[in-house]
């Protein structure tokens, strides 16, 4: 029995892409971002192949089945399936972007929705809107970013590139695009270190780690290492209490009232983090009864005043993790960045296994680079 319109409409996004089969080779490919794409599987010249039939809901189930019949007739004649020649214009990036925008309706908070719409209309669509998505190049994305920076909006450039990535990624998952051309394009932009949160790049990080490791073993130094290994904000670290930690499951549950996003946050605990906690006196249940500037004082003491901050650890880690091809969504989830508006609201637990693996890699990276 084939699919119904209701089944396709109600198909929800999951952690991984999945398929809903209709019959005659036709199926719906559902991406983690919620995109739904009609695909047809067929054999030609002895090889298994796939054909992109269309996008749901722009193409309904009846239309998709009709297209499959046409394609099957082509195969019967020994012809390679090709798109039907129609008078309608080729789908452009703006068409894909608007579909993505509608799919996020009700998911983004009001501020995020407003900022994202503004960036689409002000920066992204004027630069890329009239290009078919398969013809967009990394150069196009870089030129968009540089133009935004030239207007004085440095931080917005990287966020706009992230939005473009969110729009294109479902097409990669569905097989309509070979790759996400936005990957690594931010490297071509001018470096942007927020005024209050300077950070280090991968080449300069080892020297800082060695200097920090050679500093006197104080609770403030341990706080700095704790921030490095967990990537939480300073306030989230300073008020951490023992009862928030599940040592058996190796999870730290930060309550909503201490989070910038006002949502509870889960942090995977790596072995170095557990070692740090074990070495702390934990007076009155608090792990780090230190002042707001304690970590900053340690950073200044080891010779890095104005070069990096405790908050800058997060920017450094984000850059390195992205460069090593970890999932941008997992990185953003680890940093609890949902409220910033670059990515859609997420379920913190959704990426937890992936974040646990990522943070284990990150802790190992820190230990190796302090040697």
Catalytic residues: 233, 260, 311, 314, 337, 346
Q: Which of 12-45 are b and which e, b meaning 16 or more Cβ less than 10 Å from the residue's Cβ?
A: ebeeebeeeebeebbbbbbbbbbbbbbbbebeee
Q: Is 70 exposed, middle or buried (0-12, 13-18, 19+ CB in 10 A)?
A: exposed
Burial class (CB in 10 A: 0-12, 13-18, 19+), 46: exposed
DSSP 317: H
Contacts of 31 (CB under 8 A, 6+ apart): 13, 17, 37, 169, 170, 173, 174
Cα–Cα dist 365/363, whole Å: 5
Query: Cα-flanking dihedrals φ and ψ of residue 212, to 5°?
Result: -65, -40
């Amino acid at each position: 029995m084939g699919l119904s319109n209701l089944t396709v409409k109600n198909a929800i996004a999951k952690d991984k892409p999945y398929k809903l089969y209709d019959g005659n080779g036709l199926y719906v490919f559902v991406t983690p971002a919620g995109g739904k794409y009609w695909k047809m599987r067929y054999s030609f010249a002895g090889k298994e192949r796939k054909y992109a039939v269309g996008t749901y809901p722009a193409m309904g189930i009846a239309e998709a089945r009709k297209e499959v019949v046409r394609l099957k007739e082509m195969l019967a004649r020994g012809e390679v399936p090709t798109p039907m020649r129609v008078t309608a214009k080729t789908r452009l990036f703006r068409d894909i972007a608007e579909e993505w925008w509608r799919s996020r309706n009700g998911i983004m908070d009001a501020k995020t929705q407003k900022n994202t719409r503004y960036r689409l209309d002000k920066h992204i669509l004027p630069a890329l809107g009239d290009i078919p998505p398969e013809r967009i190049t990394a150069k196009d994305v870089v030129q968009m970013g540089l133009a935004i920076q030239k207007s004085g909006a440095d931080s917005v450039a990287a966020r706009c590139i992230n939005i473009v990535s969110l729009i294109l990624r479902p097409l990669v998952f569905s097989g309509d695009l070979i790759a996400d051309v936005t990957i690594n394009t931010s490297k071509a932009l001018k470096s942007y270190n927020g005024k209050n949160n300077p950070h280090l790049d991968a080449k300069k990080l080892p020297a800082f780690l060695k200097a920090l490791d050679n500093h006197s073993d104080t609770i403030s130094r341990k706080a700095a290492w704790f921030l490095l290994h967990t990537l939480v904000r300073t306030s989230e670290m300073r008020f951490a209490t023992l009862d928030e930690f599940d040592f058996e499951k190796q999870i730290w549950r930060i309550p909503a009232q201490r989070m910038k996003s006002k949502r509870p946050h889960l942090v995977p605990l790596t072995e170095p983090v557990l070692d740090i906690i074990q070495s702390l006196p934990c007076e009155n249940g608090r792990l780090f009864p230190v002042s707001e500037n304690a970590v900053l004082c340690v950073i200044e003491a080891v010779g890095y005043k104005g070069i990096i901050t405790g908050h800058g650890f997060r920017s450094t880690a984000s850059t390195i993790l992205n460069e090593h091809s970890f999932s941008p969504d997992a990185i953003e989830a680890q940093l609890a960045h949902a409220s910033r508006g670059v990515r859609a609201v997420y379920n913190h637990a959704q990426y937890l296994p992936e974040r646990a693996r990522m943070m284990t890699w990150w802790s190992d990276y820190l230990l190796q680079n302090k040697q």
